[in-house]
Amino acid sequence: MHFDLLIKGGEVVDPGANQHGRLDVAIVGDRIAVVGRDLPTDDVGEVVDATGLVVTPGLVDMHTHVYWGCTYWGVEADPIAARTGVTTWLDVGSSGAYNFPGFRRWIAEPSQSRVYALINISSIGLTGPTYELTNLEYADVDLAEQIANANRDVVLGVKARIDRNTVRGTGIEPLKRARELADRLQLPLMVHIGAAPPELREIVAHMKPGDILTHCFTGAQNRVIDPERRLLPYVKELWERGLVMDIGHGTGSFSFDTAEAMMAAGLPPDVISSDIHQMSIQGPMFDLPNTLAKFLALGMSLSDVIERATVRAARAMNRPELGTLKVGGPADVALFALREGTFTYHDAQMKTRPGKVQLDNRLTIARGKKLPRVEERPLMPWCAIPEHQRSIGARP
């Protein structure tokens, strides 16, 4: 049998298909053709030597901002994909009804990696740093529904940032409108939490099973643990009924203290995502593999962290064909070196934890094609990270 590309001799970690061990991965066109041991090389377009490397499904980053050039936050997807192993990006709320057509035309359609979106309940999206829900005129449910229905192949849900800065005097009303939009579309609602008000109890009262609580391990006022470091009962009840708990590390939304409390209670996150944007890419988040390495440092296994950045994220996005190396599925693959050493990882408050393993991407394959490593555009002039994080230095 002819293979266009054969990844040979790597250690496959594919929780979605329960494929683990020294396996070869063969690609024909944009599909996985065979996963097996000692596949022949006599009729192969190109062989990739993966000896000593970990081979995973392409990472699925469920919280990103990739509307470059039109929003405060956006980074370019493909150059970062090529060096991180992320092959699927869910842009969460960068675009609203007014600027979604540009997102589709200039970002999603030409991308080599896969780009989907959650439409912001605010019609201006994340053009600015925040405040997009201080004017309820922008929370136009009818218009957002019309735009989302015309773009069902790209729009996978609804996003609302519900924190003190974003809503200001409008309180919980923007979330009510986001709930109405998600219900009309019959799609999940992702809610960003952080500083109160509104209070967390009031926020989660508007969420349903299948919705996504992002920044779930925040250390801010609306954190999900009480002063005794126990999961709040009303959050636990909803989580047990199917709420998706998503990390969304970002610049200010991940706390080691919260993570350790949750994991000590046997409650790791459902999805590990980056919240990558113009600030967080400078650290201490840096990229999704670095975020995964923090959870390795917290005691999770390699298989568990890969699961939460592949198949679990894909399921939460209702794209179950992604995040796995199943035969016949999309040929999205990532190769990583496990670099051993002594590393110091930081959370958003610059608290540190030691680690012994880092994940370094060596190759990213999206839609059956190797992504070229290209120079990334300079960061925007407004993207200075917070003062307390400026000593972060380079990625570990």
Place of tokens 């839609």: 367
Mean pLDDT to the nearest integer, 201-212: 97
Answer yes or no: is pLDDT of 1 > 90: no
Q: What is the pLDDT of residues 13-50, one digit of tens each?
A: 999 999 999 999 999 999 999 999 999 999 999 999 99
Answer yes or no: is pLDDT of 144 > 90: yes
Q: Return the DSSP state at 187.
A: -
Residue 295 neighbours by CB under 8 Å, 6+ apart = 259, 268, 272, 304, 305, 308
Q: Tell me: do 47 and 87 sit in the same domain.
A: no
Q: Tell me: do 146 and 49 sit in the same domain.
A: no
Mean pLDDT to the nearest integer, 369-392: 94
Q: What is the pLDDT of residues 40-72, one digit of tens each?
A: 999 999 999 999 999 999 999 999 999 999 999
Residue 381 lies in a domain: no
| Domains of the chain: total | 2
> Which residues on neighbouring strands pair with residue 151, listed in sequence order?
none
Q: What is the pLDDT of residues 183-197, one digit of tens each?
A: 999 999 999 999 999
- The C-alpha angle 287, 300, 115, rounded to 5 degrees, equals 35
pLDDT at 9: 97
Cα diameter, the chain: 67
Helix axes 141-149, 173-185, angle to 10 degrees: 30
Residue 121 in tokens = 């309940």
Q: Could you give the CA distance from residue 92 to residue 118 in angstroms, rounded to a whole number?
A: 5
Q: Could you give the CA distance from residue 319 to residue 310 in angstroms, rounded to a whole number?
A: 11
Q: Tell me: do 125 and 204 sit in the same domain.
A: yes
Residue 112 in tokens = 């080599």
Q: Tell me: do 35 and 93 sit in the same domain.
A: no
Residue 194 lies in a domain: yes
The amino acid at residue 383 is C
Residue 384 lies in a domain: no
Residue 257 lies in a domain: yes
At residue 288, φ and ψ (nearest 5 deg) are: -65, -45
Q: Tell me: do 38 and 114 sit in the same domain.
A: no
**CATH, residue 363:** 2.30.40.10
Give which of 156, 219, 227 is closest to 193, Cα–Cα.
219
Q: Which DSSP string corresponds to 16-68?
A: GGTEEEEEEEEEETTEEEEEESS---TTEEEEEE-TT-EEEEPEEEEEE---T
Residue 252 neighbours by CB under 8 Å, 6+ apart = 194, 218, 220, 348, 386
8 A C-beta contact, residue 191 and residue 160: yes
Q: Three-state secondary structure along 266-292?
A: CCCCCECCCCECCCHHHCCCCCHHHHH
The pLDDT > 70 percentage for the chain reads 100
Residue 308 in tokens = 């939460």
Q: Tell me: do 335 and 244 sit in the same domain.
A: no
Q: Tell me: do 248 and 122 sit in the same domain.
A: yes
CA distances from 257 to 99, 225, 249, 261 (A): 38, 10, 14, 6
Q: Tell me: do 187 and 202 sit in the same domain.
A: yes
Q: Tell me: do 197 and 248 sit in the same domain.
A: yes
Contacts by 297-303, CB closer than 8 A, 24 or more apart: 297/343, 297/345, 297/353, 297/354, 297/355, 297/356, 297/357, 298/256, 298/259, 298/260, 298/263, 298/353, 299/263, 300/263, 300/268, 302/13, 302/54, 302/338, 303/13, 303/15, 303/20
Q: What is the pLDDT of residues 209-249, one digit of tens each?
A: 999 999 999 999 999 999 999 999 999 999 999 999 999 99
The amino acid at residue 8 is K
Q: Tell me: do 303 and 225 sit in the same domain.
A: yes
Answer yes or no: is pLDDT of 261 > 90: yes
CA-based radius of gyration for the chain? 20
Mean pLDDT of all residues belonging to the chain: 97
Q: Which DSSP string corresponds to 281-333?
A: GGSSS-SHHHHHHHHHHTT--HHHHHHHTTHHHHHHTT-TTSSS--TTSB--E
Residue 71 lies in a domain: yes
8 A C-beta contact, residue 187 and residue 158: yes
Q: What is the pLDDT of residues 345-364, one digit of tens each?
A: 999 999 999 999 999 999 99
* Residue range(s) defining the domain that contains residue 226: 58-316
The amino acid at residue 357 is V
How buried is residue 369: exposed, middle or buried, by Cβ count under 10 Å (0-12/13-18/19+)? middle
Q: Tell me: do 37 and 109 sit in the same domain.
A: no
Length of the chain: 396
Residue 281 lies in a domain: yes
